[in-house]
């Protein structure tokens, strides 16, 4: 669609929204303020648990990952920070890396420890029955907290692969005690003013028991740790039929929703592009966030995806766009009418209030916002026309295919 077509469509949409009583300028202002953090590992080669499919031009170093992230931010205007993973993104000079990111118009976001790839963590990390493994895991947490200080990060994003595969393999109560002790020791290491977001996953790679299997367990741990500990919701880490919007609503009301890892899954933790499988679910999550007002002001919005067979950068742009679309639609919900219908017991009337917002085509609205930010109205078209992907493919080439789904360290 041409820029003129976008503008013509926007004018009609703006008239429609105004007729509904929507403050269009206020919605546009909020859309300009949206911020989605992209992950460094999303720009690198990754794949299934059986094979990595190399992509020409995929980032090989943290500097190349930041360069790709800067390109995404230039096109979308709402991706100003990059999450890093240690040791995948390890460098000899963190202060220099922080400056490099700043020169690109970025900042370093969440720091993610890696407690699942070392041989010593075969039986777990913080929950391992081996005291040496637990000590090593805590030392790595301390290292990540030090990195946070050097790069200016205020979030430690913790996910553990800890668990057991067989009944009787280990004491479940003792593993709980070790988990509490390890997280408490890590909590004390946090830089002032920072937060620790505790993620969960209901299965895999542990198949009998998982030490952080659900949001309730993470929530309980955070309550014990203190106000700097909050729950991280990964939208792919749930069983089929789980109402993620309800989890979000509960944690928001309790003041313990720390942030998201946005992705989608068809069967399990597939790490597909957010909103690609169930866009209505993503919309309902954003409805809860918008409806919570100030309670959602500290929530961190981060993408966590494994782009296996699709172009890395274009996939990331699409992910950001999908978050923008869901947020824009949520901003159009008439919460006053919704509350009135709910109190009146008007079940379908309340549901239709949500459908009215969800079924609105907000693409012209987002295109107008981008144009007013000095950006191309269509980030995908701008990316394809930029020649960036072709240039980095020529400069970087393609890595040799690997046999694991994890990025190379």
Which residues share a beta bridge with 261?
Answer: 234, 302
CATH number of the domain where residue 310 is located:
3.20.20.150
Model pLDDT for residues 31-90, shown as the tens digit of each residue: 999 999 999 999 999 876 678 888 999 999 999 999 999 999 999 999 999 999 999 999
Task: Average the pLDDT over 101-130 and give the result.
Answer: 97
- Domain annotation covers residue 341: no
Give pairs for 114-119: CB < 8 Å, separation 24+.
Answer: 114/85, 114/86, 114/87, 114/88, 114/140, 115/140, 115/160, 115/161, 115/162, 116/160, 116/161, 116/205, 117/406, 117/409
Scanning the structure block, which residue is given the tokens 């976008």?
6
Per the prediction, the chain carries an average pLDDT of 95
- Domain annotation covers residue 379: no
- Domain annotation covers residue 113: yes
Q: Residue 370: its pLDDT value, please?
A: 97
- Which 8-state DSSP code applies to residue 212? S
- Domain annotation covers residue 228: yes
Domain that holds residue 246: 34-332
**Residues 6 or more apart whose Cβ sits within 8 Å of residue 46:** 52, 306, 307, 308, 405, 406, 407
Model pLDDT for residues 197-236, shown as the tens digit of each residue: 999 999 999 999 999 999 999 999 999 999 999 999 999 9
| 175 or 397, higher pLDDT | 175
Per DSSP, the three-state class of 277 is: coil
What pTM, to 2 d.p., does this model score?
Answer: 0.95
Cα dihedral 378/384/385/389 (nearest 10): 140
Assigned token pair, 323:
């978050």
Model pLDDT for residues 242-274, shown as the tens digit of each residue: 999 999 999 999 999 999 999 999 998 889 999
Three-state SS annotation for 63-121:
HHHHHHHHHHHHHHCCCCEEEEEECCCCCCCHHHHHHHHHHCCCEEEEEEECCCCCHHH
- Domain annotation covers residue 390: no
Q: Residue 373: its pLDDT value, please?
A: 98
CB-CB contact of 127 with 160 (8 Å)? yes
- Domain annotation covers residue 62: yes
Model pLDDT for residues 319-334, shown as the tens digit of each residue: 999 999 999 999 999 9
- Domain annotation covers residue 66: yes
Task: Average the pLDDT over 161-188 and give the result.
Answer: 98
Domain count, the chain: 1
Q: Residue 409: its pLDDT value, please?
A: 34
Alpha-carbon distance of 159 to 164, in angstroms, equals: 16
- Domain annotation covers residue 408: no
Cα dihedral 355/357/361/363 (nearest 10): -140
Alpha-carbon distance of 262 to 392, in angstroms, equals: 26
């Amino acid at each position: 669609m041409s820029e003129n077509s976008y503008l013509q469509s926007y004018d009609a949409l703006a008239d429609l929204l105004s007729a509904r009583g929507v403050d269009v300028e206020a919605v546009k202002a909020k859309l300009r303020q949206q911020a989605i953090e992209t992950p460094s590992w999303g720009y690198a080669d990754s794949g299934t648990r059986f094979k990595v499919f190399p992509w020409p031009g995929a980032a090989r170093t943290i500097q190349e990952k930041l360069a790709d992230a800067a390109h995404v931010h230039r096109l979308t205007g709402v991706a100003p920070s990059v999450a890093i993973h240690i040791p995948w993104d390890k460098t000899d000079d963190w202060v220099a890396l922080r400056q490099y990111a700043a020169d690109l118009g970025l900042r370093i976001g969440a720091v993610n420890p890696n407690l699942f790839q070392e041989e010593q963590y075969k039986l777990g990390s913080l929950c391992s029955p081996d005291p040496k493994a637990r000590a090593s895991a805590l030392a790595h947490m301390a290292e990540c907290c030090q990195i946070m200080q050097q790069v200016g990060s205020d979030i430690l994003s913790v996910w553990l692969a800890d668990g057991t595969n067989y009944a009787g393999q280990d004491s479940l109560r003792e593993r709980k005690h070790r988990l509490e002790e390890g997280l408490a020791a890590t909590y004390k290491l946090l830089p002032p003013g920072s937060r620790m977001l505790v993620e969960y996953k209901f299965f895999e790679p542990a198949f009998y028991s998982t030490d952080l299997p659900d949001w309730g367990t993470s929530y309980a741990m955070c309550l014990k740790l203190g106000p700097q500990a909050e729950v991280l919701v990964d939208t792919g880490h749930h069983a089929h039929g789980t109402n993620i919007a309800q989890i979000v609503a509960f944690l928001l009301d309790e003041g313990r929703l720390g942030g998201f890892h946005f992705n989608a899954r068809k069967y399990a933790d597939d790490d597909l592009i957010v909103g690609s499988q169930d866009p209505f679910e993503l919309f309902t999550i954003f409805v809860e966030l918008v409806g919570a007002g100030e309670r959602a002001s500290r929530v961190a919005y981060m993408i966590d995806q494994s782009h296996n067979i699709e172009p890395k950068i274009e996939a990331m742009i699409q992910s950001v766009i999908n978050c923008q679309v869901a947020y824009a639609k949520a901003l159009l919900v008439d919460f006053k009418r919704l509350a009135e219908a709910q109190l009146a017991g008007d079940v379908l009337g309340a549901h239709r209030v949500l459908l009215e917002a969800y079924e609105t085509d907000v693409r012209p609205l987002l295109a107008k916002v981008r144009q007013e930010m000095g950006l191309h109205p269509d980030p995908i078209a701008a990316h394809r026309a930029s020649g960036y992907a072709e240039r980095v493919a020529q400069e970087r080439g393609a890595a040799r295919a690997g046999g694991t789904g994890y990025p190379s360290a």
